[in-house]
A and B are shown apart, each in its own frame.
Chain A
Amino acid sequence: MLECEAIGHDYSSAGRTLTVLKDITFRIEDGGYLAIVGPSGSGKTTLLGLLAGLDRPTRGRVLLEGDDLGRLAEDDRARLRRSKVGFVFQSFQLIPTLTARENVQVPLELAGTDRAAPVAQELLDRVGLGARSHHYPSQLSGGEQQRVALARAFSTRPRILFADEPTGNLDAATGATVVELMESLNAEFGTTLVLVTHDLDLAARARRNIRLADGAIVFDSAA
């Protein structure tokens, strides 16, 4: 379960403080499917970063499975991400110097799994890239890269998956394939899905929508 309690976040830039999130409170149950939507600059990405424990909120609390992320040290948050969180990014964020399979292996190895290579190969087979496991990211198309990123995100069977504009860099057809894949994995593993997007069609597929504007929630379909 993921909860946020009255979180707010400020950035200081050139000596001025900029408030990007104001008093955000909601909760997602396990296995939930949430889309966060809103215009550019509304605070979507910042909220995603806070929910995933990539940063600490200036105010309020984020609780992931009961752990207060703001109270954990950076390396402890890293360990928590390692075991419970998966990511998918708009720009794929594969490590360019590793092959497809090695990219999928990284979270498994970090978790200390013995069978990292066969498990990674299996996941690549699942996303239809089994034959391309030795290719480097630069040798793959955008859609293929995003599928590798999906395989990586699900490799450790995370409790929650965060996706930042997962189809933003893909054409419509490829984007649809990726989303279907994400949803089927969500269904199969019972993973909670949180995605941030501009794409209202994509958001419509989620069971719940939260709309942000100027750093505050202006609409919550569950409310």
Chain B
Amino acid sequence: MTSTGFVLRMAWREARAARRRLALLTASVMAGVGALVAVNSFTDNLTVSVAEQAQALLGADLAISGRKPVTEVKVAQRLVDSLRSTGGDSVAVASSVNFAAMAYMPTSGGARLVQVRSVEAGWPFYGTIETSPAGMWGRIQDGAAIVDPSLLAAIGAQVGDTMALGEGRFPIVATVINVPGDVGLQMALGARVFVSTDALPGTGLLGFGARVQHETFLRLPGTIDPQAVAASAGPVLRAERMRVRTVADDRDNLTDGLTRLGNYLGLVALAALLLGGLGVASAVHVFIRQKLDTIAMLRCLGATSGQVFAIHLVQALAMGLLGSVLGALLGVGLQQVMPIVLEGFLPVGVRVVPSAKAILLGIGLGVWTAGVYALLPLLGIRDVSPLATLRRDADPPPRRRDPARIAAALALAASVVTLASIQVGSWWQGAWFAAAIGGALLVLWLASIAVIRAARRWTPASWSYVWRQGLANLHRPANQTVTVVVALGFGAFLLTTLFTAQYNLLREFRIDGAGEGRPNLLLFDIQSDQRELVSGTIRGEGITPSPFTPIVPMRLSEVNGQRVRQILERGTTTVPDSVESEGGERDGSLWAFRREYRSTYRSDGATVEQVTSGRWFVPGATGSGRTADEPVEISMESGLAEELGVGLDALITWDVQGVPVFSRVTSLREVNWAQFEPNFFVIFAPGALNGAPQTWVTLARASNPAARGRVQRVLAERAANVTTVDLGDVQRALEAVIDRIVLAIRFMALFSLITGAVVLIGAIATSRWQRIREGTLLRTLGATRWQVLRIISVEYAALGLASALVATVLASAGGWALARQVFKSNFVLPVVPMILLALGLVALTTIVGLWNSFDVLERPPLEVLRAE
């Protein structure tokens, strides 16, 4: 006990006098903990908000959805009837229809693709839909429309105007402010328009080829458990290609997605904390170096190495704790900013409340990081001999293969993996993250060593004194090259990687780019007899449309002899892994069996497709598809084949509007879905589908937005069922969403840069006294202040340049890996922006370096020499 008391007392007394030096350690963990607490606290808030508003997300207890209305599917209707008879009056039903259509303003002439959502009176049963002006939601049952504010701006209309949807006319009575459960991404494909289900037949838009989603919402009394209903009715409804959803399903899906987003943002924050760990290590290293005399004296007076080690560990932990607590406070403040950063992207209103769990976790991680990073430099204390009180050079060389050091290094590595795994929620991903961080740090470290060697060997003797002296500073004893290059390079690497990834992601979607000639107008749902009209309208604007592509809607009926109805009813396939692994993103499992396919037929492959196995159709060799003996050849997208668990030569029977069509897979293709071209999961050889009911799709490129607007307007008036998509709008909407996420990630990455700057300041502080002394000596020997200033500038500019170069190379590799492996897109290096980023880093390093070295110029030489 006395020993513990001694250790604590000494730790306190020592820290008292070293507050400024230890402040660096505190600052190193602060930004990282702040970022972590902000993200995790916000994610907790989101989860709580989703749980609180879960019923409002669905607006009902249960929803049954499918391509057909409940009234047309017997088992579904029976379910609704039986629920009604069990629950009596407390059961309420409201049906809804969702589809895409062209909205047209007869007054302004504006036209735009919208997502129509019709609802019946009563929905939502829970929660409210906010409108502006307020309280207008009920008016849609009187034949009015409520729309997204973005639509009004896009088509030049205002509340009070009348909007046309096909043959129907709807006065716009309000704009919608908030619909629970809708996320920003959904609006990318068109503004929302809410009308009454009763008014739909009047639009004439629900004819053949229209892709309509029906949904029936039910409110159930407390005596009926929606979860139980969903579990028992699910399989039967699935066989009818219908889905049943409950509040819990919606909540869980949303929570999963948001948690994942939070986890990844948290990982970026964690990177800042780990970088801060480097700051801790360098601060402790410097601190210990300055304390060698005291340590030797304590040893001389009889303190054991364990006691001296403990005194300094307690100090590091205490400062880590202080930094973590300050960081947590910072995080709570930052948390208020998070909803603004992610505005419009969140499906629920978020009540921002500090989360005790996130704060404690953040503080815990901060203290742990401080401790584990401090350990390695602290172990050096054991090498300080008491003999150093008598002679300065008494220190024995550091031990080789020291078990304590090996254990500390292992603890550090294990900590990084564990922290990352906790943050991302998976050991495997945590290990990958740790390996990537470790790899980047290793490269930066190697690069810094290379810089030191290069400066030592290759500084030309013919260069001026200022240059030689500045570059010599990179390799002289107690240089700061390693610390600065590693710390600054790491922060810059994170930021630049994110930048390159974002640049490439957005580039894939860019349609308006000059000279690229990509189509920017997509027209679909064109009936066979409307082809002339559409083609004429486009040509009237002086634009040539691409050849019309036929689209035949169909469903899977049999896969290799297995009836799809049975697969759906059973709820599992013979393919064990493939479906489940993608399940979260693709609307539950079995999506590939349930969905409606919109296939085409043609003899040639499209530009964005690549046959990966099998062969393309051979003219004349393909069957009619009418009987199982004469299958028509099809080419399938390889991802789909994986989902269905089929390969080449698989036999698949399709239900094309009630007629069976037999087919055989003769080729698999890779499709780049990021390209705005008509892409297809399945392409049939010509012949078999020529007579099937079909619609057509075409593309055009109109550089002039006004021309695109005119085409949309004319077609909305004269062929209301034809859907025209201005891909420029879609691109802008997608960009807005991606920008939001990137902004959030960058916001987090900024903390790495802040931490990097703290570490930079720490590194400079390391050699500050030595620098002042040398600068003073130089001035005593006759150097002008201007020369000293230039020497320091050369040193820091070189450090900044080295950090920037390595960071740029690493970030190019990182950006390439992200683009190719994660986003599956091509990679282009953003050369000019990267050069600008690198120059910015050089400038930052030089400015911080000069700012910190100001004393060198200000102090009179005599004062410094006297202090010697």
Report which A residues bind B (CB closer than 8 A). 45, 48-49, 54-55, 74-75, 78-83, 85, 87, 89, 93, 95-98, 102, 106-107, 109-112, 136, 152, 164
- Please determine whether A89 and B6 come into contact, CB atoms closer than 8 angstroms: no
A106 in contact with B390 given A54-B385, A55-B385 (CB within 8 Å)? no
- Please determine whether A93 and B293 come into contact, CB atoms closer than 8 angstroms: yes
- Please determine whether A110 and B6 come into contact, CB atoms closer than 8 angstroms: yes
A110 — which chain B residues lie within 8 A by C-beta?
6, 301-303, 307
A109 in contact with B302 given A78-B386, A96-B17 (CB within 8 Å)? no
Of the A-B pairs whose beta carbons lie under 8 Å apart in the complex, a sample of 9, sorted by A's number, is A75-B304, A79-B304, A83-B302, A87-B301, A97-B17, A106-B10, A109-B2, A109-B6, A110-B303
B389 within 8 A of A: yes
B13 within 8 A of A: yes
B399 within 8 A of A: no
- Please determine whether B13 and A102 come into contact, CB atoms closer than 8 angstroms: yes
A97 in contact with B305 given A45-B391, A78-B386, A109-B2 (CB within 8 Å)? no
B385 — which chain A residues lie within 8 A by C-beta?
54-55
B18 within 8 A of A: yes
Closest to A156 in B: B302
**Nearest chain B CB to A43's CB is how many angstroms away?**
12
B297 within 8 A of A: yes
- Please determine whether A81 and B16 come into contact, CB atoms closer than 8 angstroms: no
| Closest 9 pairs between A and B when the two form their complex, measured CB to CB | A82-B302, A97-B17, A112-B2, A75-B304, A81-B302, A54-B387, A54-B386, A109-B6, A95-B294
CA distance A96 to B297 in the complex (A): 11
- Please determine whether B299 and A78 come into contact, CB atoms closer than 8 angstroms: yes
A109 — which chain B residues lie within 8 A by C-beta?
2, 5-6, 9-10
CA distance A85 to B302 in the complex (A): 9
Could you list 5 further interchain pairs (A-B, Cβ under 8 angstroms) beyond the known A87-B300, A107-B302? A78-B305, A82-B303, A109-B10, A112-B3, A152-B301
Provide the main secondary structure of the chain A interface: helix
CA distance A81 to B389 in the complex (A): 14
A74 in contact with B305 given A54-B387, A95-B297 (CB within 8 Å)? yes
B306 — which chain A residues lie within 8 A by C-beta?
75
Q: Which of B13, B301, B307 has the most CB of A within 10 A?
A: B301
- Please determine whether A54 and B300 come into contact, CB atoms closer than 8 angstroms: yes
CA distance A95 to B308 in the complex (A): 13
* Count of chain A to chain B residue pairs whose CB atoms are closer than 8 Å in the complex: 82
A102 — which chain B residues lie within 8 A by C-beta?
13
B16 — which chain A residues lie within 8 A by C-beta?
97
B387 — which chain A residues lie within 8 A by C-beta?
49, 54-55
**Nearest chain A CB to B195's CB is how many angstroms away?**
77
A93 in contact with B389 given A82-B301, A83-B302, A106-B298 (CB within 8 Å)? yes
- Please determine whether A164 and B294 come into contact, CB atoms closer than 8 angstroms: no
- Please determine whether A49 and B390 come into contact, CB atoms closer than 8 angstroms: yes
Q: Which of B2, B297, B306 has the most CB of A within 10 A?
A: B297
- Please determine whether A79 and B302 come into contact, CB atoms closer than 8 angstroms: yes
CA distance A210 to B391 in the complex (A): 21
B252 — which chain A residues lie within 8 A by C-beta?
none
Partner pick for B294 among A45, A55, A85, A97, CB 8 A cutoff: A97
CA distance A112 to B2 in the complex (A): 6
A136 — which chain B residues lie within 8 A by C-beta?
17
B14 within 8 A of A: yes
**Nearest chain B CB to A129's CB is how many angstroms away?**
19
Q: Which of B5, B9, B300, B305 has the most CB of A within 10 A?
A: B300
CA distance A81 to B300 in the complex (A): 7
- Please determine whether A96 and B294 come into contact, CB atoms closer than 8 angstroms: yes
- Please determine whether A81 and B301 come into contact, CB atoms closer than 8 angstroms: yes
Closest to A97 in B: B17
**Nearest chain A CB to B805's CB is how many angstroms away?**
37
**Nearest chain A CB to B695's CB is how many angstroms away?**
83
A79 — which chain B residues lie within 8 A by C-beta?
302, 304
